[in-house]
Amino acid sequence: MDIKPPELLSLPGGHIELRDARSGRTNQADLVAFEIGRTAVTRAEFTATAGRELTDPRSPAHGVTWFEAIDWCNAASEAEGLGPVYARSGRSVEWNVGANGYRLPTEAEWEYACRAGSGGPHYGPLNEIAWTAKDGLPGPSDVALKAPNGFGDYDTLGNVWEWCWDYADPARYGDYRVFRGGGWADEAWNVRASVRRGSAPDAGLEDVGFRLARGACGVPGASSGQGWSAESDRERAKVRGPIPFGWTPLKFD
């Protein structure tokens, strides 16, 4: 495998406020400086097989599971002599927040990068910055054809949804992971900086890809960083009283 990750942008540290729609709670995340992909990982970058011809090599990789994304991050790190971020055993994945390799952004990092200092649902007129259902496309477009945001990131809204590190709602959906940003077939109301969705980490969804992040954000062995914490995951997984029908709370060791 000849893995060449996409160009990364260096973002300054800052703050972002996230809202949990089910609980109504808000959380302010304090972020240290980190790097994030200028575009989503493309099909050519994801496949990265010497001598293989690809159609649409500049379109974002899509139909990628969360597990495939984190495995690819580790492979890309090893290819560049960086410390792999993730330790995986079956469905269990641990994040070494002190590692300097490639990884998925946390939800806080993703929204901070998407907003780029803007305060509304979009960082510009939607038709100028995002591919949505209004464009009538049969699939994703090549990356970086619409206008970037204030940080220089392309397609954080529209084109494909993007996997993040965080659990979606561990009390209700177990080990489902979050994806953000909206896709090419979504209506405008669904393509906003604050919208979050989730699915199983082994689900390959046609309109979901991923964007890389990079940057150690704590000491090795720490259990929090960039708006995420293992303690918060455990707290969010608790269900007080009878378990509602259809809920599958995640069980932590």
Residue 51 clears pLDDT 60, i.e. is over it: no
Q: Summarize the confidence of residues 207-229 as an average pLDDT.
A: 95
Q: What is this structure's pTM?
A: 0.95
Q: Per the structure block, which two tokens stand in for 181? A: 């940003």
Under the banding of pLDDT at 50, 70 and 90, the label for residue 84 is: very high
Mean residue pLDDT across the chain: 93
Which distant-in-sequence residues (6+ apart) come within 8 Å of 241 by Cβ? Answer: none
CATH superfamily name and code, 8-217: paralog of FGE (formylglycine-generating enzyme) (3.90.1580.10)
pLDDT in tens, 115-156: 999 999 999 999 999 999 999 999 999 999 999 999 999 999
156 touches 114 (CB < 8 A): yes
Which distant-in-sequence residues (6+ apart) come within 8 Å of 101 by Cβ? Answer: 73, 74, 76, 77, 78, 80, 82, 83, 84, 85, 214
User: What phi, psi does 45 have (nearest 5°)?
Assistant: -70, -40
Task: Write down the domain spans for the chain.
Answer: 8-217
Residue 112 clears pLDDT 60, i.e. is over it: yes
